[in-house]
Amino acid sequence: MKAFNFIFSLLLMTAICTPATSWAQSYDDDIYVIDKTAPIPENETKKERKERIKKDHEIVDSIYHLKAELAAEDGYFVLQATEVRNSYGHYELGLNDNTNFMLMQGDKGIFQVAFNTMNAGANGLGGITLHGRISNKDIRHDKNGNAIITYNMIGRRMNASVTITLFKESDQAIADVFPTLGNGRITLRGRLVPYLNDNISIEP
């Protein structure tokens, strides 16, 4: 119990006190911190070590979820997508999360996808980009404990409704984007992390 409280307090302070600037610290970095700072019981068996490591990962997962949900409430986050699917069945894995993302910066946001295709698409990257104002943001929890984040994006050429499911005890999320142009849906999957950057220009 003492070890649990130590780890939880250490990571909770990181979640609350660290400003949301740049990409979040990596999962492996936080596991490394635990391995180097958490007390290890003497004469620990292999089974006990396996259970301890499992609990350590569960603690890190829960802290990452807390950081992600706080970022969604504050309105400063990015969903770094590495998987994208459109309503026509086109599905891609291992995408660059610098060009495939959902970004919210206060009352403004950007949605962008860039498929690996010969077609330049509307944004020149094989996909679409939407700059818009955020409205009607709401956060609730479903019966499974997942956080459901909904909002609208209003842009110059296109609007979209967005539903993000942030999975319980994790920073993994799925975003369903429904553009007003056409009847399609675009789904992104990846990590939702705190992100604040005053230098980003968003022009709805």
Q: Write the CATH number for 131.
A: 2.40.128.410
- Torsion region of 120: left, alpha or beta (phi above 0 gives left; psi -120 to 50 gives alpha): alpha
Question: Of 17, 44, 73, which marks where a domain is finished?
Answer: 73
CA atoms of 115 and 99, how far apart (whole Å) = 9
Q: What angle do CA 84, 149, 175 make, to 5 degrees?
A: 5
Residues 49 and 147 in one domain: no
Tell me which residue range forms the domain holding 99: 75-194
Give residue 168's region: left, alpha or beta (phi > 0; psi -120 to 50).
beta
Radius of gyration, CA atoms only, the chain: 19
Residue 49: pLDDT above 60? yes
Who has greater pLDDT, 189 or 60? 189
Number of continuous H segments (helices) and E segments (strands) in the chain: 3, 9
pLDDT at 8: 42
pLDDT in tens, 89-99: 665 665 667 78
Give the pLDDT confidence of 138-194 residue by residue, as tens digits: 999 999 999 999 999 999 878 999 999 999 999 999 999 998 876 688 999 999 999
Q: Are residues 152 and 104 in the same domain?
A: yes
Residues 55 and 86 in one domain: no
**What's the whole-model pTM score?**
0.76
Choose one of 21, 54, 73: the last residue of a domain: 73
The residue with tokens 């997962």 is: 61
Last residue of a domain, one of 51, 73, 95: 73
DSSP tag of 19: -
Place of tokens 């706080």: 70
Residue 41's pLDDT band (cuts 50, 70, 90): confident
Query: In total, how many domains does the chain have?
Result: 2
Q: Is residue 174 part of a domain?
A: yes
